[in-house]
Every structure is written in structure tokens, then in C-alpha cells.
């Protein structure tokens, strides 16, 4: 089962062996590294967003692949690029958080935003000029999860 219109957008969650293991978040656009961020404590925190967006998998717009190495690859079709942006915002908002409850709250928040919302464009433009750490904090503040 292939993705509609090709899988040009990918979120890769890669384990980093360390004294306290964590995951590195890498985002690719047509194979080109677009964004790299550290400290996703559990890949499940990113995958919570996918739970609330199962229709994208059922409609062949998204595919999830788990590799033996522990790496998780989420491939998104170009036709669902606005959903990809929401997934990216959610992924950045769960950087450095420890609470599963907070990750769930953030997943619900980012899933409730309509894909045609102008908020997506505004946040996307802001992401281009703000460093990742500050932008991640801003995204958590947008959702007001405690």
C-alpha cells in the first residue's frame, strides 16, 4: 500500500544512546534535512498525534514504519502537507517534556486545529525566524497544557 502523491515529507525519530537515552527528531522535505532537534524523551509522545489522526493512515496520506534499530519514520504525502505541518508543530511541542499527560494534551490540541486554519501559516512563518528551543516553548504555550 503506497502513499498518495509520493511520500516526500518525513519525520524521523531516532534513538541516541547515552547515559540517559533520548531520541533525536529529524524532519526531511524531499530527502533534504529540513530541521533537527534533540530531546524527545519517548517516540510515543510524537505518535500520540497520529492516534487522533487515523484517517490520514486510512486514506493513504500517512505511513508509519518502525525499524529494528528503534527508529520511527512517519512519512506523509505531499497532498497532506498542512497536516504534516501540524504533526511538526506537535513534534516540536513535545521536546523535553516528561509527562505523558502533557503529551496527550498537546496531541489533542494540535489535532483539533483545522487543516485550513490561517494559524498554520502564521506559525510556519514564525518558525522560520525563531530558534527551535524558543519556538518549542511558544507552541506549548499556544496549547495551554499543564
Q: How many CB atoms lie within 10 A of CB 6?
A: 12
CA–CA separation, 140 and 146 (whole Å): 9
- pTM (2 decimals)? 0.91
- Three-state SS annotation for the chain: CCCCCCCCEEEEEEEECCCCCEEEEEEEECCEEEEEEEEECCHHHHHHHHHCCHHHHHCCCEEEEECCCCCEEEEECHHHHHHHHHHHHHHHHCCCCCCHHHHHHHHHHHHCCCCCCHHHHHHHHHHCCCCHHHHHHHHHHHHCCC
Q: Per-residue pLDDT for the chain (146 aa), expressed as one digit of tens each? A: 455 555 589 999 999 988 888 999 999 988 899 899 988 999 999 999 999 999 999 999 999 999 999 999 999 998 999 999 999 999 999 999 999 999 999 999 999 999 999 999 999 999 999 999 899 999 999 999 87
Amino acid at each position: 500500500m503506497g502513499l498518495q502523491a509520493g511520500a516526500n515529507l518525513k519525520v524521523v525519530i531516532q534513538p541516541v544512546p547515552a547515559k540517559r537515552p533520548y531520541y533525536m527528531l529529524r524532519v526531511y522535505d524531499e530527502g533534504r534535512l529540513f530541521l533537527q532537534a534533540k530531546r524527545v524523551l519517548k517516540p510515543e509522545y510524537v505518535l500520540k498525534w497520529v492516534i487522533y489522526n487515523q484517517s490520514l493512515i486510512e486514506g493513504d496520506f500517512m505511513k508509519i514504519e518502525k525499524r529494528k534499530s528503534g527508529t520511527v519514520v512517519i512519512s506523509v504525502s505531499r497532498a497532506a502537507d498542512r497536516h504534516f505541518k501540524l504533526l511538526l508543530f506537535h513534534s516540536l511541542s513535545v521536546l523535553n517534556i516528561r509527562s505523558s499527560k502533557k503529551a496527550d494534551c498537546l496531541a489533542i490540541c494540535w489535532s483539533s486545529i483545522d487543516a485550513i486554519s490561517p494559524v498554520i501559516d502564521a506559525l510556519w512563518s514564525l518558525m522560520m525566524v525563531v530558534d527551535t528551543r524558543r519556538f518549542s516553548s511558544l507552541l506549548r504555550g499556544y496549547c495551554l497544557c499543564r
